[in-house]
Every structure is written in C-alpha cells, then in structure tokens.
Amino acid sequence: MMSITNHRLQISEPKASLDFYLNKLGMLLISQYEIDNKHHYFLSFSDNQDACLELVFAHDTVFSVQSQPSLTEGYWKYSIAVPNLRLAREHLISQGINIGSPFEVKNIAYLCHFTDPDGYCIELIQHYFTNNSRKRLSSSSSFQECLPTLNLSTLRVKQIDESLAFYTKLGMRLVSRQKVESRNMHLYFLSFNMESPPSSDIDSLRVREWLWQRPYTLLELQHTDGIESEIGFKYRTSTSSGFLGLDMNILKNLPSNVVGKETEFLVSSGKVTGVALNDPDGYQLRCF
C-alpha cells in the first residue's frame, strides 16, 4: 500500500529527545541504526502504523528550529490525533509537558500545540469537533490509552497548483480543501490511501472529522492566499530548519517528468534503494 513512511527530524540531544518521545509521549522505539556517524531512531505509537517519526542525530550538524507559527518557515508541524483531547492533554501535562490551551478553528478542528525538546511544533488534534464529541474515553493512565496516531505532516507551499500537480503525480489524491477565513489561507489534504471519504466534494464539512480519525498519515499543504504573487519570496525549506523531509512508499516508478536521483537510505526495517527528489518548494522527499 502506498503511504508516507517516515517523517524525518534532526535532533540535538538523543537522550532528551528519546526521554520525551518514549517516556512522556509513550512512543515505541521500533528500530535504531548508526551509519556514517549518524544515529537514526525510528519511533511510532504502535508497531503496525504506517508512518514512523525518524529522529536523526549527527555531532557535526547545525540547524535552527524557529518558533511557530512563522511567515517564512516552510516546515510547520506534525499532528497527533486522539479521540479525546482533554484527557490526552491532561496526561501530557502530568508528564511535565508545557502544552497550550485547546481551541477550535470553526469547521476545521479542535486542537492545541506543544513543542519537543528541540522546539519542533506538535499539534494535538481531536477526532471530533467539540459539539460532536460522541466518543470519549472514561479514563487515561497513559498517553497510549488515548489511542494516538501520527495523523498529519504539514508543509507551507507558495505555488499551490504546482504542488498539487507534483504530489498527485506521485500517486496522492486531494481529499479535502479547507478555507480558514480568519487566517487568509487554504489547507489542502492529500492521501495515498484509496479509502473513500464520506463525500467526494473536497470542500465538504463531512470530510473534516473523517480526516482526523484516519489511522494513517496524510499530507497537509498550507497555502496563504495571494502569496504566489510575492516576487522573490521563498519559504525556508532546507535541512537547516531541522526538517529532513518525508519518505514515501509509492509502489510504482516515478513519472517521466519527475526528476530524481537513485539513492540508498534507511527505513525502520533497514536499508532500501529509492529515489531522492525535491518538491516545487524544495522539500526533500525520498521515494521507494
């Protein structure tokens, strides 16, 4: 099955990051490797989820993670979806994590944010809107019991038409488009999974809660209205931001008009041979 397999971040202190993700968030260390003086740690909330969070440590790597939200950073955040935001948030607070207050973006989602030891933004998002929270857990002694899933990888893009064309060529399909009036932006959600949403209308409100309930990882593209006309503007998409890109299992050859370079890289199960390429904004992708 085609999927996003790795969401890749650089880290500065493995001990601090692993304590945060394993002991506080309750993720599992699926595998780890040391190759070419780099340490790779693959984490997931369960051993049968599609996507891993890959943390990469190298002594000589310099990067800077900027505070979010940002007008210039390309990489935004990744999202963890839970059925009950209140219980999940209470547990994280009990683990000493400083987490923001929940809020609802009307007709979009009920969510809150926090950061990891390096300052990467993490979004906690509820399966349901606040007025439609039919499923609630009665108790939660751990974050694992809040049934978390790695739900979204979120990137800001300048030319949305070019980005949508690029990702659909890789085999993804657009399943939802959401206008955020208060922030002068549109959000676009793409999936490799062929599961049918509750409506074929990409603007339908019926699709939105469905997105936050998916057990696999979706790609979210954020586009600020009118930014495509700003001559000379580019988002910072280099690895100096700490974001190393996404790995994708596309199960097919790349289209002839998508240029990449054959490479060998790591996934949670070991080395694979694939193709490294950049999307229209310069984000690094690796496909196998």
Q: What pLDDT is recorded for position 135? A: 52
Give the tens place of pLDDT for each residue, 211-257. Answer: 999 999 999 999 999 999 999 999 999 999 999 999 999 877 777 77
Q: What pLDDT is recorded for position 136? A: 54
Taking the domains of the chain in order of start, what are their residue ranges? 3-152+233-287
Cis peptide before 197 (omega within 30 of 0): no
3-state secondary structure of 131: helix
Q: What pLDDT is recorded for position 259? A: 79
Query: Is domain 3-152+233-287 classified as CATH 3.30.360.10?
Result: no
Q: Is the pLDDT of residue 157 over 90?
A: yes
Give the tens place of pLDDT for each residue, 52-70. Answer: 999 999 998 999 999 999 9
- 280 vs 255: CA distance, rounded Å: 15
- 259 vs 261: CA distance, rounded Å: 7
- 52 vs 265: CA distance, rounded Å: 14
Beta strand segments in the chain, E:
3-10, 28-35, 38-44, 52-58, 75-82, 103-105, 109-115, 121-126, 149-156, 173-180, 185-191, 218-224, 243-249, 261-267, 270-278, 284-287
- 91 vs 112: CA distance, rounded Å: 14
Q: Which residues contact 202 (CB under 8 A, 6 or more apart)?
A: 174, 175, 176, 177
The predicted model gives 136-165 an average pLDDT of 83
Report the share of the chain in percent with pLDDT over 90.
81
- 80 vs 34: CA distance, rounded Å: 27
Q: What pLDDT is recorded for position 228? A: 95
